[in-house]
Amino acid sequence: ATEIRLASRPHGVPTQDNFDIVDTEIPSPGAGQILVRNLFMSVDPAMRGRMSSAKSYAPPFEVGEVMSGGALGEVVESTVDGFKPGDHVLHQAGWRTHAVLDAARSVKVDASAAPLSTYLGVLGMPGLTAYAGLLVSAEFKPGDTVFVSGAAGAVGSLVGQLAKLKGAKRVIGSAGSAEKVRHLIDDLGFDAAFNYKDGPVTEQLAAAAPEGIDVYFDNVGGEHLEAAIASMNLHGRIAVCGMISVYNATEPTPAPRNLPQIIAKRLTIRGLLVIDHWSLREQFVTEVAPLVASGEIKYSETFVDGIRNAPEAFLGLLGGANTGKMLVRL
Ligand code: NDP
């Protein structure tokens, strides 16, 4: 078996040196446990936060210990009724090839209902984040003009497509390359998109949304948030999902300089954590899985192969190497 441990806490942008790749014995399951061989592992922006010691909603990873995260595996040994070899389970013991799990901490998934990798992406945690964030946190309603940043990523790509399907007047996305911008417009049906690296976000957004925006789904923070406030219409709503532009910052980052506009525009700005919305999971899957199966909702996945390349996958994710969900395939 092989596992990835946190070797040291990053200062700024993480590097390969922050990870240790360690070969170990394959563990044996005790009573009430299963042994799982992982097939797909998720790498997520939130893991950057957990590599730091700062207190947050999820506890920090400990230096010297195996990291963890969402993963999907196949049961190879079981001491538990209801779990048998060959079953597929979703669990939180990623960053390793083999995991011993309490059966109660793993969820069986149906490999015939959807491709296994989608349980970590469009039909999994990032998908639910998009769904709950748009419908609950941002209080989306038909006729809204919606702007989403990080639009070519796992969460953002679903936000934009859901908004379109649910009757948005106009959907605008930002992403970090010309190819991603093309993908948003040509493949995912966004009305407009821009590369935030091409020039000031405020100017590019204003040009893409001449009548302003009603909803901003924030995955990025920083300059994007200031631009969104500037383009917001009266009673606009901002769902703050992520702020990836500041995750590697070593100093406190500046706030939007136009916060007084919140008053005149009567804006609502609401933080969003997917863990508060698990109760919507069934509704989300019932609604979105058929749209994914029919191709009305498209999703992309970027695979990096091999456990030893998991750090590279994670570093790539932070740098924008992914379109759609970034996954490690074992
Ligand atoms: P993505 O698939 O969107 O991958 C991250 C993307 O962020 C990269 O592909 C890159 O794309 C973009 N990025 C990196 N640095 C910057 C930067 N400085 N400015 C702008 N964009 C940047 O990841 P997820 O879909 O998993 O997550 C998206 C966001 O949602 C993250 O902020 C994450 O923390 C948050 N999140 C929050 C949850 C919650 O419960 N609140 C749950 C899940 C995710 P590009 O090439 O476009 O730069």
Q: Which atom of ligand 1 is nearest to the CA of 174?
A: 47
The reply to whether 76 and 156 lie within a common domain is: no
Is 45 touching ligand 1 by the criterion CB < 6 Å? yes
Is 126 touching ligand 1 by the criterion CB < 6 Å? yes
pLDDT at 139: 98
- Please give the distance, rounded to the nearest whole angstrom, from the Cα atom of residue 159 to the centre of ligand 1: 12
For residue 246, give the CATH number of its domain: 3.40.50.720
Mean pLDDT (whole number) for 8-33: 97
Residue 284 placed within a domain = no
The reply to whether 144 and 271 lie within a common domain is: yes
User: What is the spatial distance between Cα 215 and Cα 317, in angstroms, rounded to a whole number?
Assistant: 25
pLDDT at 84: 97
Mean pLDDT (whole number) for 181-208: 98
User: What is the spatial distance between Cα 89 and Cα 120, in angstroms, rounded to a whole number?
Assistant: 11
Compute CA distances 204 → 8, 197, 231, 258, whole Å.
Answer: 39, 10, 10, 17
Q: Report the half-sphere exposure of 20 (CA within 13 A, side-chain side).
A: 13
What total number of domains does the chain contain?
2
pLDDT at 248: 96
From the list 165, 163, 164, the residue with the least C-alpha distance to 135 is 163
- Please give the distance, rounded to the nearest whole angstrom, from the Cα atom of residue 23 to the centre of ligand 1: 31
Is 241 touching ligand 1 by the criterion CB < 6 Å? yes
User: What is the spatial distance between Cα 304 and Cα 26, in angstroms, rounded to a whole number?
Assistant: 23
Structure tokens, 120: 């970590």
The reply to whether 165 and 237 lie within a common domain is: yes
**What is the pLDDT confidence band of residue 167, given thresholds at 50, 70 and 90?**
very high
- Please give the distance, rounded to the nearest whole angstrom, from the Cα atom of residue 177 to the centre of ligand 1: 14
Structure tokens, 133: 């964030």
Range of the domain at 90: 2-121+299-329
pTM over 0.95: yes
Contact by Cβ (8 Å): 142, 168: yes
Mean pLDDT (whole number) for 171-196: 98
For residue 101, give the CATH number of its domain: 3.90.180.10
Is 127 touching ligand 1 by the criterion CB < 6 Å? no
Contact by Cβ (8 Å): 31, 90: no
Contact by Cβ (8 Å): 57, 133: no
In angstroms, the first-to-last Cα distance of the chain is 12
Mean pLDDT (whole number) for 36-49: 98
Structure tokens, 282: 């069934």
Q: What is the pLDDT of residues 21-35, one digit of tens each?
A: 999 999 999 999 999
**What is the pLDDT confidence band of residue 216, given thresholds at 50, 70 and 90?**
very high
Residue 286 placed within a domain = no
Mean pLDDT (whole number) for 91-101: 97
Residue 285 placed within a domain = no
The reply to whether 57 and 140 lie within a common domain is: no
pLDDT at 59: 94
- Please give the distance, rounded to the nearest whole angstrom, from the Cα atom of residue 158 to the centre of ligand 1: 13
pLDDT at 116: 97
Residue 294 placed within a domain = no
Q: Which atom of ligand 1 is nearest to the CA of 245?
A: 18
**What is the pLDDT confidence band of residue 149, given thresholds at 50, 70 and 90?**
very high
**What is the pLDDT confidence band of residue 76, given thresholds at 50, 70 and 90?**
very high
Q: What is the pLDDT of residues 286-308, one digit of tens each?
A: 999 999 999 999 999 999 999 99
Can you tell me the ipTM of this complex? 0.99
Residue 293 placed within a domain = no
Mean pLDDT (whole number) for 74-94: 97
Is 242 touching ligand 1 by the criterion CB < 6 Å? yes
As a whole-number percent, the residues of the chain with pLDDT over 70 amount to 100
Q: Which amino acid is at 311?
A: P
Mean pLDDT of the chain: 97
- Please give the distance, rounded to the nearest whole angstrom, from the Cα atom of residue 85 to the centre of ligand 1: 35
Residue 153 placed within a domain = yes
**What is the pLDDT confidence band of residue 218, given thresholds at 50, 70 and 90?**
very high
The reply to whether 319 and 271 lie within a common domain is: no
- Please give the distance, rounded to the nearest whole angstrom, from the Cα atom of residue 87 to the centre of ligand 1: 31
Q: What is the pLDDT of residues 232-290, one digit of tens each?
A: 999 999 999 999 999 999 999 999 999 999 999 999 999 999 999 999 999 999 999 99
